[in-house]
Amino acid sequence: MIDVEATRLVAERFGLDIGAHGPTVPPERLLELARALKDELGCGYLCYVTAAHFPEEKRGEETLPARFVVVYRVRNLDRNTEFPFRCEVPIDAGVPSLAGVWAGADWQEREAYDLVGPRFEGHPDLRRIMLPEDWVGHPLQRQYAIDTPHAPWR
C-alpha cells in the first residue's frame, strides 16, 4: 500500500505530482526528500535502488536528451506502507548518493553504477561491484554492444 503521509508530504512540501510510478524528484531536492521520508515519516527500510538508461530520442519535433532514471522504493515497517520515487538526470550529471541516509543504498548504488552507469555523487566507495575493474562501459545501457568480448564471460 502506498504511504498516504508520504504522498501528502511530497505534494505539500515539495510541490511534486504523484504519477503512476511515484514523483520525479529533482536531483537538488533528492537528499532532502530522502531525509524527510526516513526521519519524519519513519520509512527506515530502503527496498531497492535501480536505474535505467534512456538514449536520446526524437518524439515528433521534440528531441528528448539522453538520461538516467534512478528509481527508489522505501518502506515504513510499522505502518506496512511503501513509497516509490525517482530522479532523472542527464547522462553527464550525477545523482546524489543516498548511502548516508540508508546504509542499504551503498551496494545497490554500486550495482546501478556498474551495470547502467549513473554516477552517485558523494558515495563513499563508488566502484564496480559485479564486473571486473577493466570492463569497458556499462552493459545495461541501451546502446551497449551486446557482442562485446571479455574473457572469461564471452
Q: Which CATH code fits 4-121?
A: 3.30.460.80
| C-alpha distances out from residue 45 to 20, 32, 42, 97, 112, Å | 21, 17, 9, 16, 18
Beta strand pairing call for 95-96 and 81-90: unpaired
Grid cell, residue 18, equals 504523484
Beta strand pairing call for 57-59 and 81-90: unpaired
Handedness of CA 119, 124, 129, 131 (dihedral sign): positive
User: Which residue positions in the chain have pLDDT lower than 50?
Assistant: 154
Task: Spell out the domain ranges in the chain.
Answer: 4-121
**Which string of DSSP letters, residue by residue, matches 11-27?**
HHTT----BTTB-B--G
**β partners of residue 70:** 51, 87
Q: What does the pLDDT read at residue 154?
A: 46
